[in-house]
Chain A
Amino acid sequence: MAANEFSADFTDVSVHENVPVEGNIRISVPLASEDEDMSTLDEPVKDTIMRDLKAVGKKFVHVLYPKNNDELLRDWDLWGPLIVCVFLAMMLQGKGADSPTHGVPQFAEVFVTVWFGAIVVTFNSHLLGGTISFFQSLCVLGYCIMPLSVSLLLCHVTLLAKGSLPLAMFIVRFICVTLAFAWATFASTTFLGNSQPPNRKALAVYPIFLFYFVISWMIITNVT
């Protein structure tokens, strides 16, 4: 039923007796929210994907220049961590039990290590009394692995130069991974650091340090 606009001026209304007044007032409200939902349902798939990709990309940029802003925490998503983790696992995986690379972690091992490690670290900071929600801190930890993925790419590039100056190449890789590890730890403590009570900050930061250290170890020992 069409809603009518209702306006009334009550200045010259007076009631002589205590007459109970009851009724309904209907006011028209712009139905903007329903329109928006309809419009995102109708938009082309490319727009949806591009919008999400832009959000993910913007968060990666935030990790590159970690300042203490809230955007990474407010609009959390787990796409970025998934992309990073799949990339890491694909690059680090070995080929099978009989191949020469039998000591290398398999895809599932890397995947589980990264996700299970992130979940345990998140639980830990939550149990210590952190004020961030579970998924927000999972999001931050996942996004901050990004510098380590970049260093993994660089390591692969140096490994392509097979045979020449192996020690120098190893030193280059080592410096790369160390820098990336420091960057990742610094970025995640920037985002997560203020959520802990100050007398427990070191207790919350140490597991994050251990988590990135293990990932750096996996990257630097990847020589195939």
Chain B
Amino acid sequence: METVDPLWRPSNRSSQKKKKKIVFHQFDLIFTFIDFTLVDEGKESINGRMQVEEEDTEEELIYDEGVRTELLAGQKKSSSFWTFSYYQTFFDVDTRQVLNRIKGSMIPLPKRNFVRHYIRNKPDLYGPFWICATLVFAISISGNLSNFLVHRGESGFRYTPEFQKVSIAATAVYAYAWLVPLALWGCLVWWHGHAGAPAPYSFLELVCIYGYCLSSFIPAALLWLIPLEPMRWVLLVLACMLSGGVLSVALWPVLRRYGQHHATVALAFLLLLHICLGLGCKLYFFDTPQAVPAPSLPTHANNDTMHQHNQ
């Protein structure tokens, strides 16, 4: 007589046949998914993810059927890394989805994990790339204009477009938005590799989080044009809080698994990097308006200034 196994096992009764079992890795009520591995002796194991659906009556969410019951995540159809159609799968988004994601990245709510709620296993590269590009140009152009407005009355000031700052801004923003997720993903893979499970977030999902979070800085960068120092600090704090909030809500459940202490340190470090980016952009590109005397004195620089006082 076969002993009854306390573990649930969808196996065949015959002892000749090979046994299968399901090993659950993730079982967290905060998550909306369950990671598991289907172990079949004799065949290779299949990693999968079951998506747990939320009831959401406030707004209409966009998701497709293929995501809801994605048992065989490891067997998704994928073209080779070097073909064009491989990358086309990452641009498979509509206008409405992108706008939803941007909206979700600006409003941190404790229950809405950005990755689970908005990305839903369909990470895209459109958002991160073009949000970074917009941010680069927003910072450069806004900085250039605000410097012009601040230094306008000074003698000896000659307006230049400061085009070289665009490449500096581009390097900073793109390095932050792509290298930090890479490092974070590397760490997650390394830690999870010990447990033999896939990393909880894929690299593209991390890039999505970081890319969409930067969208909070774009209105801040445009509003930094106004040369009022207190307002600029308020805007910086607001942007950091909003984007840092979304980042924390998305990353905290993952980091928490490594112990409260480690998770706190890691999250604090990531938020510090985020604040450094915002602070660096503000300090480098936007000169502070000093308390200059009213620029009503007739100063005459050269003929080539953009705005010239009357002679």
Contacts and interface: CB of A to CB of B under 8 A. Distances in A.
Contacts of A217: 137, 141, 161
Nearest to B308: A166
B307 A104 contact: no
Contacts of A104: 160-161, 163
Contacts of B133: 207, 210
B126 interface: yes
Interface residues of B, number: 33
A102 B308 contact: no
Contact of A100 (B84, B95, B98, B158): B158
A115 B308 CA distance: 35
A109 B161 CA distance: 13
A126 B88 CA distance: 8
B176 interface: no
Given A128-B91, A201-B95, A203-B93, A224 B126 contact: no
A30 interface: no
Contacts of A105: 161, 163
Contact of B159 (A126, A129, A203, A223): A223
Interface in B269-309: 302-308
B163 A103 contact: yes
A218 interface: yes
A83 interface: no
A210 B311 CA distance: 38
A142 B143 CA distance: 28
Contacts of A103: 160-164
B250 to A, nearest CB: 23
A101 B306 CA distance: 13
Nearest to A222: B161
Contacts of B44: none
B233 interface: no
Nearest to A221: B161
Nearest to B303: A162
Contact of A127 (B91, B98, B158, B164): B91
B94 interface: yes
B214 to A, nearest CB: 15
A129 B88 contact: yes
Contacts of A126: 84
Contacts of A207: 130, 133
B98 A203 contact: yes
Contact of A221 (B144, B304, B311): B144
Interface in A174-224: 199-203, 206-207, 210, 213-214, 217-218, 221-224
A149 to B, nearest CB: 18
Contact of B94 (A162, A166, A199): A199
A202 B304 contact: no
9 contacts: A104-B161, A127-B84, A127-B88, A127-B90, A129-B88, A163-B311, A166-B307, A210-B133, A223-B304
Shortest beta-carbon contacts, A-B, top 5: A103-B160, A221-B161, A105-B163, A127-B91, A199-B94
Interface of B: 84, 87-88, 90-91, 93-96, 98, 126, 129-130, 133-134, 137, 141, 144, 158-164, 302-308, 311
Given A126-B84, A170-B307, 4 more contacts: A199-B96, A203-B126, A222-B161, A223-B304
